[in-house]
Copies of this chain bind each other. A is one copy, B any other.
Amino acid sequence: MDDKNPAYRLYAAYLDCINSRRFDRISDFIQDDIVRNGEKLGLVGYVAMLERDYRDIPDLSFTPEIVVAAGGTIAARLLFDCTPRGEFMGLAIDGRRVVFAENVFYRLRDGKIGTIFSIIDKAAIEAQL
């Protein structure tokens, strides 16, 4: 791992921020005009998404399994082991425990995340239901 790339430190601090639900600090990591999977969420919309995720999945936690950073891009494989209360990704989870991964790319701009390309392993969740 190229620890010299400051993106690794940024990403660790970002995960710590969202895992500790300190959304007042999220503008340290996320650009005002953040775009996620083609959707122009903006910072307010991004925080609203995280708040909804934590409401729907009270035991949500982001655990990095792989992090690769080079140039202005970070790639991460995140692991989740949690119990969504109702629906998640259109699937009726209803409090069952599910274990799945998210493979996600972050494009940085001026030292903050500007664009996110995320894929959650829906097929793996379906296989557990």
Which residues of A are at the interface with B, using a C-beta cutoff of 8 A? 1-2, 5, 65-66, 68-71, 73-75, 77, 89-90, 101-105, 117-123, 126
CA–CA, A90 to B125, complex, Å?
14
Contacts of A89 in B (CB 8 A): 123
Q: Is the interface of A mostly helix, strand, loop or mixed?
A: strand
CA–CA, A2 to B75, complex, Å?
14
Answer whether A70 and B73 are a contact pair too, CB < 8 Å, given A89-B123, A105-B103: no
CA–CA, A95 to B117, complex, Å?
27
- In the complex, the answer to whether A77 meets B105 with C-beta atoms within 8 Å is yes
- In the complex, the answer to whether A5 meets B70 with C-beta atoms within 8 Å is yes
- In the complex, the answer to whether A75 meets B68 with C-beta atoms within 8 Å is yes
Answer whether A120 and B117 are a contact pair too, CB < 8 Å, given A2-B71, A75-B68, A103-B105: no
Contacts of A77 in B (CB 8 A): 105, 117
Q: Contact check: which of B2, B5, B66, B70 meets A105 at CB < 8 Å?
A: B66
- In the complex, the answer to whether A105 meets B71 with C-beta atoms within 8 Å is no
- In the complex, the answer to whether A101 meets B117 with C-beta atoms within 8 Å is yes
Contacts of A74 in B (CB 8 A): 68
